[in-house]
Structure 1
Amino acid sequence: MKKQAFRQLLSITAILLYTCILSCKSGEKLYNKGRYDEAVTTFVKKLQRKPQDATATRMLPDAYKQALLVREDRVNEYLRSNNQLKWENIRNEYRALQTLYNAIHSSPAALKLVQPKDYRDAITGAQENAAEMRYDRGMALLDKGDKASARQAYDEFGAALKLIPNYRDTKQRRDEAYQMGVINVVVSEIEVRSPYYQFSADQFRDYLVRNLQQRNINQFVQFYDERVVRNGNLRPDEYIELRFFDFVVGQTYVDRIQRDVSKEIVVGTTKDSIGKEFNIYKTVKATLYITKKTVVSKGLLDYRITNTGNGQLLRTDRIPGSYTWLNQFGTFKGDERALSDEDKQLMGGRDMPPPPPTDLFMEFTRPIYDQLARDLQSFYNRI
């Protein structure tokens, strides 16, 4: 029992020794590859476990020095550049150096070897400069006065707020940029040639507007019902005109079909002279009288998107839609055994009235609606 415990102790010791050697080697490899940040972190972790480790003690100071040189050289390069967003890159470099500062402070042994530089003030200064640059870029875009620039300004103000929440009056400016950049789209009322279908056409338009609003296709595009706009003070930027063209609802076709059917069936068995059994077949016949009633509804929807400011036609298209209602039923004369299973189902049917015209109208416009919604989503996603 003691020998087994001793062997387990030796095994654990060997594993720890191997891990120690591997850790030192990996830190040294990282250093030799110029990955100084990772080398520093690896040496610090090693010193947390073994404060007297020779390799980590020897190499940590130089690894930190090299990491410092590399990062600060990058900072100086950014400072000399004309890149307006350089302060965000500088902040990232300072943050990386601060991470090394925090790592070294987590190990008393590492802190005895290296006195790391605290970059908290440098990070704050870089963030303030970065936020100021984003804010200034947003204001310059806002001053252009056009919608596309206002949308870009909105993004710049948003970036400034991510850097420093509540920076100056950035929230107010971002809201202003949104109001300037948003495109208000009004969907027209739909006129149909028959007042009987006006309610269905209004349902089509209402559902379309609600769906477009709920989809939130683009944060800078808002859809409105023309009736709502007429009673308010909203000034539309674009107008979607909808018109059903050349539609037919409830066009009925009746076909009467007479068809003869036959089938061989087994009616018994018999035996031959040597006693072998055979089936006795008989041909049964019937005549089917089938009525096929088809009700077709179809039409086209024209839509036009117009810029209300200059009257420019932005997009136009025509979308077809159709719906076919079918009912079949029948009777037969003759032997029922001649009928197939499909024939029997027809015989079980009955003459049924088609749906009311308003329902047929909604059915043939359903594929039109789906295509129109996809078209509008694709069109307004471009903004």
Structure 2
Amino acid sequence: MNNQNLFLLLLVLFFVSCSSGKKALQKGNYYQAVAQAVDRLKSDPDNGKATTVVKEGYPMAIEWSQEELDLALSSNAAFKWERAVNIMHQVNHLSDQLRSTPATRKLIADPKTYTSELNMAYEKAAEERYQAGIHFLEQNTREAARTAFNHFLKADQFIPGYKNVLQEMETAKDMATYKVVVEAATVQSRTYKLSSEFFYNQVFEYLNNKYTERSFVNFYSPQQAERFQIKHPDFIVQMEFFDFSVGNLVRGEKEEELVNKVKVATKDTTRVTYKTYKAKLKTFSDKVISGGRLNYRIIDFNSGNLLRDQLIPGSFTWENRYAIYVGDKQALTDQQFALTQNKAIPLPPHQDLFIEFTRPIYDRLSNELDQFFRKYR
């Protein structure tokens, strides 16, 4: 943001903070007008315009709220008691502002506050949402169950534990939720003894963190599905590693003659003298190239249809470079000398290389699974 835009923003905020609420009152925005005036009087208790707005605007705000309550409760609109709760909260909030400001306590001695009326409205609003939830739950469809869950959740927010709303929420959630069994990632190989347990755990943890229990997609391992008696899941995710190789060693070496001329300082400044340093450098490179592919499938359990069948490649190259030299150290660059400090080291275990080449596979797989299931949550 440039300086000019920043100045304009600060200027707008300044005028808003200094508003007495008079313009809002003239437009019929009673609550906004009184709120602005109260805020002004907090910092400037003797402000005449703000004082007038509070005196004139507050009775209008209370009158308007009563009219809105009457209109809402006399209508046949859905969730009319929820509308009543919101209006009462607005009145109570304004009352709190007036009572917490010394200057306005003198102007409005007894601001309107809903207490018993609000408690009754909470119960009525909870009942509205509860009955709506029952109505949708009886339709016995996944989408209707999701709608029912949201109604029950709203009822519980009005009155925690209203009737048997928690039980109904659980029923609606179970009916609305897609259940996905994620099978272990198999590794078919006679050459290597490898475990993909780490990969499976990583994928499973990602999905459960991404799709929490409150979402409408839940993931289960085969063991969990058996424990919870999920005999008819919605989807099955299968994974298999194949066409892979681990630990293909490629060794290389390079020998070179090094010459480095260095200027030498002498007493005779008119002459330039150089000293020549020579060395032979032999550089070794050990590379281990690993790679393979994961085939993952998403199957609709009820129809048996194959919804997704994808191959994801991955690769990883481990490299160790080291060198030896004979001759003058001064003939080597800093980088070349650093190589001479390295040593030949044992090659990594096959399992470690397997883990490394599956990392890019995991990144792509987790993204693709999220894209697929996102529309169901």
**Fold in common (TM above 0.5):** yes
Give the partner amino acid of 1:278. R
Task: Classify the secondary structure of the residue corresponding to 1:293.
Answer: strand
2:345 and 2:22 mapped to 1: Cα distance?
Answer: 86
Measured in 2, the distance between the counterparts of 1:375 and 1:148 equals 24
Deviation of residue 260 (structure 1)? 2.5
Q: 2:177 aligns with which of 177, 182, 185?
A: 182
Q: CA deviation at 1:231?
A: 6.2
Partner residue of 1:306 out of 299, 302, 309: 299
Match of 2:287 among 287, 294, 298: 294
- The equivalent position to 2:69 in structure 1, one of 72, 75, 86, is 75
**What does the per-residue CA deviation read over 1:123-142, in whole Å, with 9 as the maximum and x for residues that have no partner?**
34433332222112211221
- Alpha carbons of structure 1 residues 198 and 117: separation in structure 2 relative to 1, 3 Å: same
Q: Tell me which residue corresponds to 1:208.
A: 203
Quote the residue 2:240 is aligned against. Answer: 243
Matching residue of 1:15: none
2:373 corresponds in structure 1 to 380
Aligned-pair distance for 1:240? 0.9
Q: Deviations over 1:34-67 (max 9, x none)?
A: 4545777879x99xxx9xx9x989x95x755533
Alignment equivalent of 2:128, drawn from 125, 130, 133: 133
Displacement of 1:323 in angstroms is 1.2
What is the CA deviation profile of residues 255-306 of structure 1, one whole-angstrom value per residue up to 9, with x for unaligned ones?
A: 22222221112466363xxxx4534214333332222111111122222222
Aligned match of 1:222? 218
**Other-structure match for 2:4:** none
Letter matched to residue 78 of structure 2: Q
Identity of aligned residues (%): 33
* Structure 2 residue runs without a partner (length 5+): 1-18
Verify: 1:284 aligned to 2:277, yes or no. yes
Contact 1:217 1:380 in 2 (8 A): no
Match for residue 89 of structure 1 among 83, 86, 89: 83
Corresponding residue to 1:255 among 246, 252, 256:
252
* SS of the residue 1:200 aligns to: coil
Secondary structure of the 2:184 match is coil
Residue 348 of structure 1, aligned match among 327, 337, 341: 341
Retained in 2: the 8 A contact 1:184–1:237?
Answer: yes
Residue pair 2:297, 2:310 contacting (<8 A) in 1 also: yes
Tell me, yes or no, if structure 1 residue 264 matches structure 2 residue 261: yes
Distance in 1, Cα, partners of 2:32 & 2:333 = 79
Structure 1: state its 5+ residue gaps.
1-24
What SS does the aligned partner of 1:189 have?
strand
Alpha-carbon distance between aligned partners in 2 of 1:139 and 1:170, rounded to the nearest angstrom: 10
Decide whether aligned partners of structure 1 residues 195 and 202 sit closer, same or farther in structure 2, where only a CA change above 3 A counts: farther
Taking a change above 3 Å as real, the CA distance of residues 374 and 354 of structure 1, as seen in their structure-2 partners, is: same
CA gap of 1:179–1:198, structure 2 versus 1, over 3 A, is farther
CA contact (8 A) 1:217 1:381 kept: no
CA-CA distance at 1:325 after TM superposition: 0.7
Tell me by how many angstroms 1:335 deviates: 3.8
RMSD (CA atoms): 3.7
Per the normalisation by structure 2, the TM-score is 0.75
Q: Deviations over 1:80-126 (max 9, x none)?
A: 6554133211222234445677869x969856xx8x87754543443
**1:380 Cα shift?**
3.4
CA 1:196 to 1:147, structure 2 compared with 1: closer, same or farther past 3 Å?
A: farther
Instruction: Report the AA paired with residue 276 of structure 2.
Output: T
Which among 134, 137, 141 is matched to residue 142 of structure 1? 137
SS in 2 for 1:260: strand
Check whether the contact 1:68–1:97 (CA below 8 A) recurs between aligned residues: yes
Distance 1:307 1:231 in 2: 21
- Report how far residue 358 of structure 1 moved: 0.9
Change in CA separation of 1:155 and 1:89 when aligned onto 2, cut-off 3 Å: same
TM-score w.r.t. length of structure 1: 0.74
1:317-332 pair list within 5 angstroms: 317-332=310-325
Structure 2 counterpart SS, 1:278: coil
In terms of Rg, which structure is larger? 1
Q: How many residues align?
A: 343
